[in-house]
Structure 1
């Protein structure tokens, strides 16, 4: 039986931040980090650039091997949890090895959702969630001419752009009427869609796939309207969800993800969760939500680690606020906080379709609730902090509406602590 004090399952942003924070407080207790990936830890956000060849796998490592040696962290790669014994405080790994822990953090991330499209399971296709997925997709792209991407979320849009950069003819098929529906309203989405069209990507919005079938070395995709597409390469990017089979038989409560409190504790003793697998407090309300963004994974990993080490500096998690910076074809879109207005919000919008510029500000009682922009000078981190800190913009409201970047910087420089 192997033993460790801290067992962290998952070596992406939440898990890496957790082991870093643990070591800041506890310099001696054994830490074991388990990852199902065979590659050194990396950021999933870089994967599309591996596909296009702009980044090499060996150049995007978040922590080199000597980091784990220097910090006395046991790294177990190409392995994963398959079960948890709460009573014995033990986990079993896919390899069959068993580890006894004092404290366990689940930061196992999410897996691609494979839609139940007839014929898909019999047709070769790609997903993009791991480094190996990116390498396989890159290698296939080098031999392909036509690609179809199912899904116009961030993964699908990034994947499509980088397949285009790799020289392929690309078509995106999306059931919704717009791209990136979770981040931008229809007017902003139309500007992004226009940029993709202008760069040679065919956009089929509001289209549903009813069948996929092998065709030679590629496939045929049939749409609900009867049209069909042929492709040498198929990328499925229709969302992600946590893989939670290892929780079977435990008392860990699950909804869309693992339910946690504001200290990232689950209902089970000595078990925490953070990152894409965790369903945690919403900044805007009382419900618990899945956030799935990098900055929030880091924050949750830090909170979990501080609670696990009983760090007196711990401040409970205040809730998730979405933040996304999206670069496409040399342009930049930013979405922070709420993206859709309701009756309780004051909405101020400026659109310059000719120059592809867009700005939307959402306020409640003169406090920023959300801001979206395309091709505007913007600092997403500052906007994020203005929302998190509930800064009263009343004295500078007109200036903020006119010049959000400069006004936001001035506010934060005087209040940042």
Structure 2
């Protein structure tokens, strides 16, 4: 008999794992996948485009139900797993399913953090993480509505831009002194703020929320400094925490996330974790790229190959209100390193290279990100950039045509 493989979670990391496993070793396992959401895996990166009406739900889909069927994968949707019984090798799903397993993959993602402030449980306070959130926000974003988005990270910016595209009066609040402070330095963040404001989004920095108020629903948001902001809708995007409830209940080793080794194996050798719920070498990643790399390693490991995950050098590449932004590695020069900057605020172009010796330690680009892939590769490899500094800053120049021989 084939070994029974159960995957809990049907997000982007889970699907990438299943794709790699079934492409390279079709039929190796008897596979069942459990997803809490009522639809199969979809592209969460497109949620802001969905919110703003640029794509529909079909445009966010990855694989149809026929793909799972044709690859022999049993897919259960709309029924969250409620318990992992390690002693008997069982997964309890909803109230009707019991799935036996020989190997188990936890790809259960993360949960949005709600600010511990008064009024956060009022109707009209929403998160921005999945299709249901987008549907709820769109229902609340009626003509004349006033929206406040809390959080100046990537998802907060995307939510604010999506609401602005719907014609909603939108204010973005961020407690820090600049947007996307983990990915951008001050100069780059200023350009991003301008791009947001050009889209009609009001941006308030150093804005600490004290409470949300209203009679039976959201009516206003109060800042710590006493400022009152009228609001019919509040979207919170202040971070996520790994979803460790199932693993904790099963007695697996937990830190910030489900602790795994370089083969994505938990403290139980039959159980694995990947994506936003996994903690590897003390780090929990909240981005797609590390999740995909982990999925590749786990698929190869379960096929018997000697794959190992060594961690991911993080980078961010996105468009904020049409403005291209790229960030990778160090954003400020550590001791002994130097920062080389080119800035043209009028054109909305900013480039910063953080260099240590002859190695590229980090890069921040706004407006023109043509060299992003090259920079990312150099940061990861540690290769000397002695012969490339000008090209990295100003772009690769085309070779000068040589005159034809007489």
Q: TM-score, with normalisation over the residues of structure 1?
A: 0.90
2:359–2:383 CA contact under 8 A, matched in 1: yes
* Long gaps (5+) in structure 2: 400-406
What is the CA-CA distance between 1:4 and the residue it aligns to?
6.3
Q: d(CA) in 1 for partners of 2:266 and 2:336?
A: 33
Q: How far apart in 1 are the matches of 2:77 and 2:371?
A: 36
Change (3 A) 1:268 1:190: same
Contact 1:300 1:317 in 2 (8 A): yes
Cα distance, 1:111 vs structure 2: 1.2
Of 371, 374, 389, which aligns to 1:398?
389
Instruction: Name the SS for the 1:324 alignment partner.
Output: strand
Of stretches 375-384 and 106-115 in structure 1, the one that deviates more from structure 2 is 375-384
CA distance in 2, matches of 1:332, 1:271: 40
What's 1:299 paired with? 293
**In 2, distance between residues paired with 1:255 and 1:348?**
38
Task: Tell me the distance in 2 between the aligned counterparts of 1:24 and 1:228.
Answer: 55
1:328 is matched with: 320
CA, structure 1 residues 377+207, in 2 after alignment: closer, same or farther (shift >3 Å)?
closer
User: What is the CA-CA distance between 1:215 and the residue it aligns to?
Assistant: 4.8
Aligned to 1:352: 344
Structure 2 residue aligned with 1:105:
105
Spell out the pairing of 1:361-376 with structure 2 (5 A cutoff): 361-376=353-368
| Shift of residue 323, structure 1, vs aligned partner | 1.8
Please give the TM-score of this superposition, normalised by the length of structure 2: 0.92
SS in 2 for 1:311: coil
The 8 Å contact of residues 263 and 304 in structure 1, kept in 2 or not, is answered as: yes
Secondary structure of 1:157's counterpart equals helix
Inter-partner Cα distance in structure 2 for 1:362 and 1:99: 51
Deviation at 1:83, TM superposition (A): 1.9
Once the two structures are superposed, the pairs formed by residues 37-186 of structure 1 within 5 Å of their partners are 37-186=37-186
- How far apart, CA to CA, are the structure 2 residues paired with 1:11 and 1:390? 36
1:339-384 C-alpha deviation (Å, 9 max, x unpaired) = 2332143322222222221111123332222211000142433332
Structure 1: gaps of 5 or more residues = 282-287, 411-417
More displaced 10-residue stretch of structure 1: 239-248 or 153-162: 239-248
Q: C-alpha displacement at 1:87, in angstroms? A: 2.4
Q: Distance in 1 between matches of 2:280 and 2:128?
A: 25
Distance 1:67 1:406, change over 3 A: farther
Structure 1 residues 380 and 7: alpha-carbon distance in aligned structure 2, compared to 1, 3 A threshold: farther
Q: Deviating runs (4+, > 4 A) in structure 1?
A: none
* Cα distance in 2, alignment partners of residues 158 and 233 from structure 1: 16
Per-residue deviation, residues 54-97 of structure 1 (Å, max 9, x unmatched): 11112210111111111111111112222222222222123342
Deviation at 1:216, TM superposition (A): 7.2
Secondary structure at the counterpart of residue 248 of structure 1: helix
| Equivalence for 1:242 | 242
Provide the residue aligned with 1:26 in structure 2. Answer: 25
Aligned residue pair count: 397
Aligned-pair distance for 1:311? 2.4
Contact 1:323 1:380 in 2 (8 A): no
Aligned residue for 2:16, secondary structure, equals helix
Q: Is the 8 A contact 1:90 1:99 kept in 2?
A: yes
Asked if 2 retains the 8 angstrom alpha-carbon contact of 1:144 and 1:232, the reply is: no
Q: Which moved more, 1:233-242 or 1:376-385?
A: 376-385
Shift of 1:183: 1.0
**What is aligned with 2:374?**
382
2:359, 2:379 within 8 Å by CA — same for their partners in 1?
A: yes
SS in 1 for 2:121: helix
Return the alpha-carbon distance in structure 2 between the equivalents of residues 294 and 321 of structure 1: 12
Q: Which stretch of the first structure deviates more once superposed, 109-118 or 131-140?
A: 131-140
The 3 A distance-change label for structure 1 pair 251 and 194 is same
Q: CA RMSD in A?
A: 2.1
Query: Residue 5 of structure 1: SS of its match in structure 2?
Result: strand
